[in-house]
Copies of this chain bind each other. A is one copy, B any other.
Amino acid sequence: MAEKSQKFSGVLSPVLTPFSKDLKPESRRLVEHCRWLLSQNVALVLFGTTSEANSLSLEEKISLLDDLIDAGINPSLLMPGTGCCSITETVQLTSHAVKLGCKGALILPPFYYKDISDDGLFRSYAETIERVGNSALNIYLYHIPPVSGVSISLDLIERLIIRYPNVIAGIKDSSGNWKNTQSILERRWDDFQVFAGSERFLLQTMRAGGVGCISATANINPNAIYNLYKDWKINQADNLQKQLNQVRTILESYPMIPALKSVVSYYSNHPDWTMVRPPFISLEKETQKELIQKLKSLGFAMPNLD
Contact = CB atoms under 8 A, between A and B. Distances in A.
How many A residues are at the interface, by size bracket?
35 or more
Nearest to A24: B88
Interface stretch (A56-64, A96-104, A220-228): A56-64
B117 A278 contact: no
A88 B279 contact: no
Nearest to A126: B278
A72 B195 CA distance: 53
A119 B281 contact: yes
Interface stretch (A143-151, A172-180, A182-190, A287-295): A143-151
A281 B123 contact: yes
A29 interface: no
A120 B85 contact: no
Contacts of A110: 54-55, 278-279
Contact of A127 (B87, B123, B278): B278
A243 interface: no
B278 A123 contact: yes
Identify the interface centre among A59, A85, A87, A149: most chain B CB within 10 Å of its CB: A85
A33 B56 CA distance: 33
A109 interface: yes
Interface string A41-63: 00000000100001111111000
A88 B55 CA distance: 8
Interface in A244-287: 277-281
Given A111-B112, A112-B148, A121 B279 contact: yes
A301 interface: no
A254 B121 CA distance: 18
Shortest Cβ-Cβ A-B pairs, 6 listed: A54-B112, A124-B278, A120-B279, A123-B278, A57-B88, A54-B85
10 contacts: A54-B85, A55-B112, A55-B113, A87-B278, A111-B112, A112-B147, A112-B148, A114-B149, A117-B281, A120-B280
